[in-house]
């Protein structure tokens, strides 16, 4: 807790009006890759408290939409449709796809993190499972040429997951934004050119 309160990104997020320090992970990746543009349809998994959706909606500039989902409640944001539910439940996935309707997404982003036990043998399979479900959703929801950004942890199953993503995306990069704590195994996989 002490570490969190002194964290430069926590203080900066409070000062700049973002809902969480996680915003600086997405903003660093976006500034480098120019991921989000007006007119896009985005899916934000593990969205609460909402800084990624908040940042993305500022870039959409009133043109485009975001479907956001989390286990926890989230305060509303303009152009963001929110579903509260567990992404691992088939009924919740069905609701997400129903709300997407005929639209196809330009970007599926997933910052989901399971409750960590601190035991890698327990936590790592849960992280990989969420990432696998995100990839399944990308197959159902993405436009050809679309992007997926997914939180991962280095460890068992990481290399196999990256290999599976490389099969269906033309470009795959691993990114560790500065706001991702250096001692954490957390990293982000950015995949683009879906199906190309």
**Which residues of the chain form contacts with ligand SAM (CB under 6 A)?**
19-20, 22-23, 46-52, 69-72, 86-88, 111-114
The H or E element containing residue 11 is helix 8-16
Distance CA 97, CA 119 (A): 33
- Which backbone phi and psi does 121 adopt, to 5 degrees? -65, -25
CB of 68 to ligand SAM, least distance (A): 9
**Minimal CB distance to ligand SAM: which residue?**
46
Closer residue to ligand SAM (CB): 50 or 64: 50
Half-sphere exposure of 167 (CA within 13 A, CB side): 8
Residues that are catalytic: 151
- SS3 for 4? helix
Given a contact cutoff of 8 angstroms between Cβ atoms, the answer to whether 135 and 148 are in contact is yes
CB of 109 to ligand SAM, least distance (A): 8
Closer residue to ligand SAM (CB): 131 or 142: 131
CB of 63 to ligand SAM, least distance (A): 21
Given a contact cutoff of 8 angstroms between Cβ atoms, the answer to whether 157 and 5 are in contact is no
Given a contact cutoff of 8 angstroms between Cβ atoms, the answer to whether 111 and 52 are in contact is yes
CB of 195 to ligand SAM, least distance (A): 26
Closer residue to ligand SAM (CB): 31 or 166: 31
- SS3 for 184? coil
Distance CA 25, CA 72 (A): 21
Closer residue to ligand SAM (CB): 16 or 102: 16
The H or E element containing residue 80 is strand 80-84
């Amino acid at each position: 807790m002490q570490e969190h309160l002194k964290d430069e990104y926590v203080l900066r997020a409070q000062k700049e009006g973002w809902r969480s320090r996680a915003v600086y992970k997405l903003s660093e990746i976006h500034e480098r890759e120019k991921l989000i543009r007006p007119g896009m349809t985005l899916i934000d998994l593990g969205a609460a408290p909402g800084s990624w959706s908040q940042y993305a909606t500022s870039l959409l500039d009133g043109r485009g939409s975001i479907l956001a989902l989390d286990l926890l409640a989230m305060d509303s944001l303009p152009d963001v449709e929110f579903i509260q539910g567990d992404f691992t439940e088939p009924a919740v996935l069905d609701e997400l796809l129903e709300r997407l309707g005929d639209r196809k997404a330009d970007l599926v982003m997933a910052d989901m993190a399971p409750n960590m036990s601190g035991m890698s043998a327990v936590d790592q399979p849960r992280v990989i499972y969420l990432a696998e479900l995100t990839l399944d959703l990308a197959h159902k929801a993405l436009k050809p040429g679309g992007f997926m950004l997914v939180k991962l942890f280095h460890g068992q199953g990481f290399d196999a997951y990256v290999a599976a993503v490389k099969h269906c995306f033309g470009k795959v990069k691993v990114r560790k934004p500065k706001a991702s704590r250096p001692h954490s195994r957390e990293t982000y996989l950015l995949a683009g050119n879906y199906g190309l």
